[in-house]
Amino acid sequence: MTAASATPSRPSFAGLAVGDIVATREVRITRESLVKYAGASGDFNPIHYNDVFATSVGLPGVIAHGMFTMGAAASVVEEWAGAGNVVDYQARFARPVPVPNPGEAIVAVTATIGALDEESTTARVDLAVEFEGQKILAKAQAFVACA
């Protein structure tokens, strides 16, 4: 079997229960992370690199890109579920993540089985995404196709 024709393995639906924590991770965000993300995404808004500008618009300083944070949280589920098995993902931004210079912001991600759909063998994974004990993404949910 070639890499192109390989079918990604899926988590076993039978082995899951609502309330199971399936993955956790601390995501470390630095100013370097923001520069790399800006280059990849094309999002060069100065709130993500210029402290003077960020504070002038009422922010506590430079903040992480919302989509960077959202993507980092989704990657925790994707690593557990396997490539291609996250079939839907959604979240709302609850608050920004200030990124100090020097230093790093540490975002804690916990992925928990929130619901199971036996008919479609799909698991809803609820994500708790926090910075300094405060929720930064609200209603963060990934839907995973299971075997």
Q: pLDDT per residue over 99-114, tens digit each?
A: 999 999 999 999 999 9
pLDDT score of 43: 97
pLDDT score of 1: 41
Domains of the chain: 13-29+65-145 (3.10.129.10)
Judge contact between 27 and 137, C-beta under 8 A.
Answer: no
Question: Which residues, at least 6 apart from 76, have a Cβ–Cβ distance to it below 8 Å?
Answer: 23, 24, 25, 27, 109, 111, 127
**Which two tokens mark 111?**
């992925």
Q: How far apart are CA 103 and CA 99, in angstroms?
A: 7
pLDDT score of 48: 98
pLDDT score of 4: 52
pLDDT score of 12: 94
pLDDT tens digits for range 108-131: 999 999 999 999 999 999 999 999
Q: How far apart are CA 99 and CA 92, in angstroms?
A: 20
Q: How far apart are CA 52 and CA 49, in angstroms?
A: 9
> Could you say which residues of the chain have pLDDT below 50?
1-2, 5
Q: How far apart are CA 62 and CA 32, in angstroms?
A: 12
Residue with tokens 């975002």: 107
